[in-house]
Structure 1
Amino acid sequence: MTVTVVRHIVAGPEAAAFAERLSKQVAGHIDRLETSADSIDFAFSTALLALQAHCVADPEAANLETWEAAVNAMQLGTALFAVTGGSEGTVECRINGSVRTIPVIGPQPYADAGNWLLAFWLAVICREQERMTQLCQIPLEQLRSPGGEYEEFFYHWVDVQQTYWLRRPGLVEKLIAAIETSNPETANTVPRDMLQGLLYPPINLFYHFVRKHEEGFSPALVEALNLHKAYWTQNEERAVDIDGAVALGPLAMACLAYDGKLPIGVESDFVPKYLLEHGWLGEFPT
């Protein structure tokens, strides 16, 4: 039996035009990177917004433009860590259809665990295994925010995904640590609604995935999407924010499960069909 989780955001008459305008802004930011990468964090955040906007206008992600938006966001996410991972020289990054030579800018505060999670999830969604490997080779200490912005469970969660993908030892122990440190009593500087609605559900989904829990994954995905929806509809301001259009963390975990042949008995615009099922995979170089 397939369960449907209805998304709270519906496309208005200007949705497609808005998404296209954002994509043009992203293209402009990308073209300027070879001159200066100082604004790559803004380019990445704009690309994420463009992806969400395209998924509002195109709920199943059936259009090529939506896949291109996903790929651009993914490519900018990995480029962000490439240009901040050294102190000099240049790096070559394929973004928006071209290989670009981008100057290295050295460590930056935004090359942190939060953006790492977004970049890795995008690479999972786009099935970009080489980029997943590159991201997983970044040392945890390099991702620590100088101001201590993130609770410890963020780093445990990053460590879990790096350990899984690179097949390092200790996955079970690290997953237990991520679950325990994401408890509201421990991660007490994070707003409880954010912790329970957005941050913990992907960890729980990963737990079901690595256990190959066929009967448990779909109910956990339904719960994750309902929690995502509850968070983004808690007030009027959130309800109209397109950042809530796609549940990136649950979508990435669902992509792992789909590729691992676990049944996905859930349909929802929060996890667009053709991103989940990689309908555009291989259509152009990524």
Structure 2
Amino acid sequence: MVIQISRSPFEPGENSAEWLAEIDARTLERVGHLERSPDMFGRTFNSTVITAYTHCLHDPTANTSETWEAWVAAMQTGSALFASASAPEGSTVECMIAHKPRTIPGLGGPTHFTDAGTWLQAFWLAIICRDQTRMTQLAHYPVELMRRSGEFEEYIYPWVEALQAYWLQRPELGEKLVAAFDGTDPQNLRFVDRELMLKILYPPLNVFYRFITNDQEKFTEALTQAIQLHHEYWAEDEERREDLDGAVALAPLALACLAHDAGQPIEVESEYLPENLLKRSWLGEFPT
């Protein structure tokens, strides 16, 4: 049985196509500045992600090529950010972003925007866009460098290490995932509140655990719960409903993509899981 979970109502305006074109143009302009100002990576990456989410508000199933282009550009920018951080100062990295090869200066090490939260976003995007090369590059980025970029709840570092171990087939996967679960205990929280942890940050760990243990029934339950809690959190009040961060359930979508590609049926339908991203309908449409 397919479970349907609806997103909060959204009515596109009459000029939505023009509005999206303006957003795309502004985001592309910011991307162009990276070749001169890589210190703008954090703000630019956030802009590309919000642009991708905005397209999905207007195109809930990701049915248009423009939506796919926006998601690919976000993925490319996130991966380029960490490639630049990995490159020595004074060197350059060659990156494809938004259909154009770009030569971007190396950042020469971690900065305030190369933190574990940003890494997770970049990794989820690489999964959703099915870019295994970028997934591998991100999986090799050291957690020690993420720790130098800012303070987070401690759970996030073993969570990142668990994902890296999964993708690189390292033996410490189970150990790191247990440590990540332990770190989500609300009694251990320092920077986020209990609601954010229980409704947004914790559920992806449970979805991932059910995926790697190949328990289809429990996976469906965990994915359903993750989407329901995502909706509950972002529909709580008007301020959250207007926050574009809630338009797509990024981590659950990425994990559903992993399960889909592994042959598991995805029994949840929702605007929070855009159908054509989940089913990789646009894959191969253009070089990424």
TM-score by length of 2: 0.96
1:74 aligns with 2:75: yes
- State the match for 1:2 in structure 2: 2
Q: Is the 8 A contact 2:89 2:107 kept in 1?
A: yes
Q: Is the 8 A contact 1:22 1:49 kept in 2?
A: no
- State the match for 2:119 in structure 1: 116
Question: What secondary structure, in the 3-state scheme, does the structure 2 residue paired with 1:284 have?
Answer: coil
1:222 maps to a residue whose letter is T
Q: How far apart are the structure 1 equivalents of 2:94 and 2:32?
A: 14
Cα distance, 1:70–1:46 mapped onto 2, change above 3 Å: same
- State the match for 1:181 in structure 2: 183
Percentage of identical aligned residues: 46
Question: What secondary structure, in the 3-state scheme, does the structure 2 residue paired with 1:92 have?
Answer: strand
- State the match for 1:20 in structure 2: 21
- State the match for 1:129 in structure 2: 132
Q: CA deviation at 1:146?
A: 4.7
Q: Deviations over 1:66-119 (max 9, x none)?
A: 000000000000011111223221000011111111111233111010000000
Q: How far apart are the structure 2 equivalents of 1:200 and 1:173?
A: 17
Task: Give the number of equivalent residue pairs.
Answer: 285
**Structure 1 stretches of 5 or more lacking a match?**
none
Q: Is the 8 A contact 1:153 1:187 kept in 2?
A: no
1:213 to 215, 228, 235: 215
1:141 to 141, 144, 161: 144
Question: What secondary structure, in the 3-state scheme, does the structure 1 residue paired with 2:102 have?
Answer: strand
Q: CA deviation at 1:188?
A: 4.4
**Cα RMSD for the two superposed structures:** 1.2
1:276 maps to a residue whose letter is L
Question: What secondary structure, in the 3-state scheme, does the structure 1 residue paired with 2:93 have?
Answer: strand
Q: Is the 8 A contact 1:67 1:280 kept in 2?
A: yes
Spell out the pairing of 1:233-272 with structure 2 (5 A cutoff).
233-272=235-274
Q: How far apart are the structure 2 equivalents of 1:23 and 1:197?
A: 31
Q: Is the 8 A contact 2:89 2:105 kept in 1?
A: no
Cα distance, 1:139–1:115 mapped onto 2, change above 3 Å: same
Question: What secondary structure, in the 3-state scheme, does the structure 1 residue paired with 2:187 have?
Answer: coil
Q: How far apart are the structure 1 equivalents of 2:24 and 2:238?
A: 26
Q: Is the 8 A contact 2:115 2:149 kept in 1?
A: no
TM-score by length of 1: 0.96
1:12 maps to a residue whose letter is P
Q: How far apart are the structure 2 equivalents of 1:36 and 1:29?
A: 10
Q: Deviations over 1:187-234 (max 9, x none)?
A: 343211111111111111000100011111112111101100111112
